[in-house]
Amino acid sequence: MKKVLFISYMFPPIAGSGIQRPLKFVKYLPEFGIEPIVFCPQHAVWRANDPESAEYVFLRWTKIYRCGIDRLKRYFNLRFKRNCRRHPYFYYIALKYIWFIDFQSAWYFECRKEVTRIAQRENVDCVLTTSPPHSTHMFGQHLKKKLNLPWVMDLRDAMFDDATNRKAAVDCFRPLIHYMYEKSFYSLADRIVTVSENILDTMSQRHPDLKLRGKTSIITNGFDEDDFAGLKPMRREKGSLQIIYTGSFMGKQTPFYFLEALQMLFRRGAISPSDVLIRFIGFFSQRIRILMKRYAEEIPIEIHGLKSYQTSLRYQKSADLLLLIVSIDENEGGSQIYTGKVFEYIGAQRSIFAIIPDGPLKKLIERGRFGVTAPPKNINAIAEKLKHIILHWKERGSLPYNPNMGLRSQFSRRKLTADLASNIYGML
């Protein structure tokens, strides 16, 4: 059996959809003759943790090494435990790591010697790094140079000019810094994997001399059928259309346009507040919570906060309509966003209302007949589509759902891991 050193910052008990791709690769790679040896942080703190995610049965026989990040303990404590939005220490951290991709590069500087020892001790055949955070690829670059290990670089999000990020004063340096690291990583990696054609297009346009298409594969995110097997939906209220959103709103993402459209329908008398119930399940910043509570004065909204991954899936199964929001226009880079959340929703087999820009995400939903789409910032268009959905539900008691099951099957985590295994074998 081949051994791959699988390096991921995002790994249980960290919570969020970002852990699902690395977690499911680790679950299914042994079926294809590849043993993943995981390297992840010991003390990483994210916006939220999910202790249940560390209890999957397959993790009991997965070799996992944990190291760091002591250098960021104070930051994690201030930012996520004490919920400080601003603190003098944050500026110190920003300045200290200003010439690196992100401040999580502290993990690399703290643990690069340890990861080298593990790679040698385990006699691994190759290394795979997955991001974000994009500084994770510094480990791959280091092991490639130090031990000449074949390296697979996996990109869940765009590395350069991520459209979801809010801009700060120091970000005037970011494009150049990211460009330099990006070119260095792409030049050295033996294989590159990313989640969408749009991300590959922008990579190739920025670095035409690297001829990236020759060594890059598209492996989308997906869903795991095992997660839905025997899953019981949550109890739900009868008499109203239940709209469920699971996840978070990162950076510039916001539910503002959706809530504004719904409020407009109520005020015009097009629909009644008793017709709908909106449930938001996930980790939400204070800014987003204040926004939701403001609209809750007129709109039936429940804010449930973070739940375990399995509980979130149960909420999805209980929905009449699953809400997907990418509140960033195409001209702002929104077409590069190919959120993994949509594949969970496809797995749940419930109709999707997707407020998203033109791009691969919209094409997927329309081609697969997985739901209805509306442009992200056009409140009138969102309201019109929403009114049609709600009135149809009131008339029929249910929403139409006739997905392309052949297309759906392409997003099985087992199948996608088979594609990754092919990339690994093709490199060795």
State residue 331's pLDDT score.
63
CATH architecture of 2-222+412-427: 3-Layer(aba) Sandwich (3.40)
Whole-number Å distance between alpha carbons of 389 and 378: 17
Please state, in angstroms and as integers, the Cα–Cα distance from residue 201 to each residue in 91, 181, 208, 216, 390, following that order.
35, 18, 10, 11, 38
Q: Which two tokens stand for residue 191?
A: 């294989």
CB 91 within 8 A of CB 129: no
State residue 45's pLDDT score.
65
Query: If you ran DSSP here, which 8-state letter would residue 418 be given?
Result: H
State residue 54's pLDDT score.
65
Domain with CATH 3.40.50.2000 in the chain: 2-222+412-427, 226-408
Q: Which of 171, 169, 151, 146 is nearest to 161 (CA)?
A: 171
Strand, coil or helix: what is 269?
coil
Q: What is the mean pLDDT of the chain?
A: 88
Q: Given this structure, which CATH class describes domain 226-408? A: alpha beta
Q: How far out from the chain centre does Cα 139 lie?
A: 21
- Strand ranges inside 106-238, DSSP E: 126-131, 151-155, 191-194, 216-218
Whole-number Å distance between alpha carbons of 390 and 325: 18
Whole-number Å distance between alpha carbons of 63 and 127: 15
Residue ranges in the chain whose pLDDT is less than 70: 45-48, 50-54, 74-75, 77-85, 87, 89-99, 160-174, 329-335
